[in-house]
Structure 1
Amino acid sequence: MRAELPAKERPDFHALVAAGPVAAAAAVALTALLPVLAQRESWAPRLLALACAAALAGVHLTAFAHGGVRRPGLALAAQALLGYGPMVQLGALWSAAGGFLAGGLLLVVRPARAVPAAGLVCVGAGLLAAWAAGSVDAGLAGAVSAGIAALALSGVGAAVRLTAEREEERRELKRDAIAEERKRFSRDVHDLLGLSLSAITLKGELVDRLVIGQPDRAKEELAELLIMSRRALADVRTVAAGYRELSLDDECRAAAAVLSAAGTRVTVARSGIADLPPEVATALAAVLREGVTNVVRHSTASWCAFSVSKEDGTAWLEIVNDGAGGPADGGTGSGSGLRNLVDRVESLGGTLVAESGADGTHRLLAAVPVGCGGVRRHRAADELTA
């Protein structure tokens, strides 16, 4: 299954999320500033409140709005100074500014410690407000306003941080999906077109030899070459469309035809494969294509026998030839083709083994469980490695 890529980016949404901390910091700063501007007639406390409110908002946005800073302790100290220091002159009107320190604690300290610490900060703001105003009601209002401000700042900051993490995860999924699609395309081009192009090459060479001495035979071979080329074109289209289901029966006939055209004596045995699941049949067909392609390209085989069957819940494919010793006969780890086949087979819980015998034969054996039971899977693996 391939991951679905998003149809388009949503810059408006991300801009809105990025603007959240600015709006929250501005709102809390105004919550602390407006009471001072409304109830103090002198310009000195007003200017003090304006400067401190701007500084508090700036420190918060710089330090905590986008994931924190290297030294959050300095930012917290600045928030404590700007949040509590002006209360000496501004009194209970400035109590909401304590929410900046509490919000910063909630954003940078672990929750187990941040929650009680932020609570103490809000209580402290309430106590200072009560002392400055000489009223319990003023203290209670100060603690509540500081708590609300802390929740607003920490909530928006946490939302932005979570959004950034999800965006990075989405980008990682997109990169993985692109890499997987490239891998699939490369694998399918190799697996699906290798045999077809080898067959076309062989037929072309044969036609070149026959065109002068046996023109009628050359016409017959040329007609078969055209059929093979059309099939290769169809394979290219299936790769581009991502549709990769193969017919195992068709591949058996095509493999036999290619081997015969290469002058290799062929023996084919098929039994019980009519009801194989499509994914199993496609995997075995791909193995057959690559195995026969290697026989044609890289071996000196005079005969090749392959068989496909189903037994005890496992589908088997075996390819044996007498041309071992070529560069493609090094086992399942040599060549991208066999590595691709190992990936295909193992993704279905199967096993692929390639080995050369002392008598000069080469054997490629694949087993894929038709069901999904673990017992069958392990049994197939044990039989292959026995």
Structure 2
Amino acid sequence: MVQPVRMGGAWLRERAGGQAPPFGEERPGSRTLVFGAQAVAAAAVASLAFLPVLAGREAWLVRLAALACAAALAGAHVAWFARGRVRRPVLALTVQAALGFLPLVQFGALWSTAISFFAGGLLLALRPAWAVPAAVLACLVAGLVAGWSGGSADASVAGAVTAGVAALTLFGLATAARLVAERAEQVRELKRQAIAEERKRFSRDLHDLLGLSLSAITLKGELVDRLVPDRPAQAKEELAELLVMSRRALADVRTIAAGYRELSLDDECRAAAAVLSAAGTRVTVARSGIGDLPPRVATALATVLREGVTNVVRHSTASWCAFSVSTEDGTAWLEIVNDGAGGAAGGGEDSGAGLRNLSARVEDLKGTLTTEVGDDGTHRLVVAIPVRSPRAPRQGGRRWAS
């Protein structure tokens, strides 16, 4: 049964080559939490600007005006800066500057903290080279206003520091919101890529791994059908082999569903020879030094061998086929040669798709896959994949066996 697609963090790391997704895994509700923290921070800074006015001796109408300005500053910050993106920066900075500086005429030092909204907006909307000096200047203005009204240097320093801390708080939370939004988008993109890659992997494995098995089952079925009337004993033997092949095809389906694709190169060599023989093709096999190949290299060669032999059976009129697998000078080699390049079915669409799949598999291992057609009608497929530890050529050359 096909396994459900798992979208957990471990699976995403596996599809990303063992690396964690950018900024780690997204936690549910993180964007809501960051947005809520910004709203609370904006309300707190607005309160720091409004509460001194409320505690003063101003008329109630003036106090209501201060409350409206503070609420407008907090609302403008949440609307234009709190979602992780700066929206309408010119309008936002204009509103913050107007609501931050104009009330200073009436409230003086009591309103100096409100300038932090404008300073924080500068840090969010402008490039650092412009934003930092402008924000520092805005905080200094807040300090000077506080010192002028309070009549002391301590009041001036306290006003500048308060405005600077509030501006940095607003800037930090808005930046956090932007990073959370970017992380969420990158995780979504990674999931989309992982799903597309899994679909591609499933389609490729279905084509490459089941093609040979199904072709072999078809050939065996046709042979059994011909043998039943005259040679029932031999038909029974062939039927037993057909059952073995069908069980193997079922195992391949489970392999594809589970995503586990390690194959035995020795088993594939024997299976390929059996399928070619069943198809009436004379087959010659050579194997040399393949026992210590890395599993990924052996699996890639086994898959290429499957698809190559499937193409010989289904897309050519070959009377003979020879394939060899060997390692020489730190490179694993696979060569498949047959005389059926001029067959009627020598280059179907399915064959082309198979070769593209094989090329992708081999290129993933830094290898090469080449095909060529000789003047005498022979078709040659050659694969070379580098292995980690170079090996010297084995003495005696290739050992051919039929």
* TM-score, normalisation: structure 1: 0.91
The DSSP-based 3-state class of the residue aligned with 1:276 is coil
Corresponding residue for 2:96?
A: 79
Asked whether 1:93 is paired with 2:106, we answer no
| 1:74 counterpart letter in structure 2 | L
Asked whether 1:2 is paired with 2:19, we answer no
| 2:15 counterpart letter in structure 1 | R
The DSSP-based 3-state class of the residue aligned with 1:270 is strand
Corresponding residue for 2:70?
A: 53
* Structure 1 residue 326: Cα displacement: 4.3
User: Aligned residue pairs: how many?
Assistant: 373
The answer to whether the 8 A contact 2:315-2:351 is kept is no
| 1:240 counterpart letter in structure 2 | A
| 1:29 counterpart letter in structure 2 | A
Corresponding residue for 1:325?
A: 342
Percentage identity across aligned positions? 73
Asked whether 1:288 is paired with 2:305, we answer yes
Asked whether 1:253 is paired with 2:253, we answer no
Asked whether 1:269 is paired with 2:282, we answer no
* Structure 1 residue 14: Cα displacement: 2.7
Q: 1:121 aligns with which of 138, 141, 144?
A: 138
The DSSP-based 3-state class of the residue aligned with 1:365 is strand
Deviations 1:19-46 (A, max 9, x none): 1221111111011111111223520221
Q: What does 1:1-386 correspond to in 2, within 5 Å? A: 2-3=15-16, 10-40=27-57, 42-69=59-86, 71-326=88-343, 329=346, 335-371=352-388
Residues 320 and 331 of structure 1, relative CA distance in 2, 3 Å threshold: farther
The answer to whether the 8 A contact 2:84-2:176 is kept is no
CA distance in 2, matches of 1:96, 1:276: 70
* Structure 1 residue 178: Cα displacement: 1.4
CA distance in 2, matches of 1:231, 1:367: 28
Uncovered stretches (5+) of structure 2, i.e. residues with no partner? 1-13, 393-402
* Structure 1 residue 371: Cα displacement: 2.0
| 1:219 counterpart letter in structure 2 | K
Residues 347 and 332 of structure 1, relative CA distance in 2, 3 Å threshold: farther
Name the structure with the higher helix share: 1
The DSSP-based 3-state class of the residue aligned with 2:385 is strand
Cα RMSD (Å): 2.2
**Which one is further off, 41-50 or 335-344?**
41-50
Deviations 1:97-128 (A, max 9, x none): 00000000011111122111100001111222
* TM-score, normalisation: structure 2: 0.88
* Structure 1 residue 171: Cα displacement: 1.3
The answer to whether the 8 A contact 1:68-1:108 is kept is no
* Structure 1 residue 69: Cα displacement: 4.3
* Structure 1 residue 130: Cα displacement: 2.6
* Structure 1 residue 329: Cα displacement: 4.9
Residues 326 and 158 of structure 1, relative CA distance in 2, 3 Å threshold: farther
* Structure 1 residue 204: Cα displacement: 0.8
Deviations 1:188-244 (A, max 9, x none): 111111000000011111111112222111111110000000000111111111111
CA distance in 1, matches of 2:189, 2:289: 44
CA distance in 1, matches of 2:249, 2:42: 64
CA distance in 2, matches of 1:200, 1:332: 22
| 1:160 counterpart letter in structure 2 | A
Corresponding residue for 2:398?
A: none
| 1:2 counterpart letter in structure 2 | R
The answer to whether the 8 A contact 2:289-2:327 is kept is yes
The DSSP-based 3-state class of the residue aligned with 2:372 is strand
The DSSP-based 3-state class of the residue aligned with 2:228 is helix
The answer to whether the 8 A contact 2:315-2:348 is kept is no
Uncovered stretches (5+) of structure 1, i.e. residues with no partner? 377-386
CA distance in 1, matches of 2:87, 2:99: 20
CA distance in 1, matches of 2:240, 2:159: 92
Residues 68 and 260 of structure 1, relative CA distance in 2, 3 Å threshold: closer
The DSSP-based 3-state class of the residue aligned with 1:99 is helix
The DSSP-based 3-state class of the residue aligned with 2:229 is helix
| 1:42 counterpart letter in structure 2 | A
The answer to whether the 8 A contact 1:92-1:139 is kept is no
The answer to whether the 8 A contact 2:26-2:183 is kept is no
The answer to whether the 8 A contact 2:281-2:319 is kept is yes
CA distance in 1, matches of 2:134, 2:348: 64
The DSSP-based 3-state class of the residue aligned with 1:179 is helix
CA distance in 1, matches of 2:377, 2:330: 32
Between 1 and 2, higher relative CO (CA 8 Å, sep ≥ 6) is seen in 2
The answer to whether the 8 A contact 2:85-2:178 is kept is no
